[in-house]
Amino acid sequence: MTISVILAGRDGAVVSAEPDTTVGAAIALLAERRIGALPVIDGDTVVGIFSERDVIHAVAKLGAAALDRPVSELMTAPPVTVAADEDALSALGLMTRRRIRHLPVLADGAMVGFVSIGDLVKFRIDRIEREASALRDYIQSV
């Protein structure tokens, strides 16, 4: 199963920030939307990811002054991305190996979605439950 299947049930809108968005404004957006990260997009290009971890590092390094800095100075860049046709389990492995929790999804160089490790773990659990159910049905029918 591919990442595009996971994205299929969504409306397609991805909350994002521009490179000159202030850290304070980005934090407000994270809190308002109850999300953990924002892709940072310059034009049509994903140039980084600004996450809760970046907030912690910025405040630890700069204190309250971090709130007035642009996210481009404090985001994680370059972003690790995944193709829409990538296998979901392969993407989950990538996230585990790289110790990241969010992936911009690209198709033909443009961002078409944003997935979290929670999205992929949920996909994996759902798949395991379907397989277990199918096995139970098979055993009961024999």
- For residue 86, pLDDT beyond 80: yes
The tokens for 119 are 């999205």
What is the domain partition of the chain in residue ranges?
3-141
- For residue 100, pLDDT beyond 80: yes
Q: CB of 20 within 8 A of CB of 53?
A: no
Cα 52 to Cα 30, 41, 102, 103, distances in angstroms: 8, 17, 11, 14
Q: In this predicted structure, what is the pLDDT of residue 9? A: 76
Q: CB of 61 within 8 A of CB of 67?
A: no
- For residue 12, pLDDT beyond 70: no
Q: What is the pTM of this model?
A: 0.84
**What is the assigned CATH class of domain 3-141?**
alpha beta
Mean pLDDT of 77-86: 95
Q: How far apart are CA 142 and CA 138, in angstroms?
A: 7
SS3 35: coil
- For residue 76, pLDDT beyond 90: yes
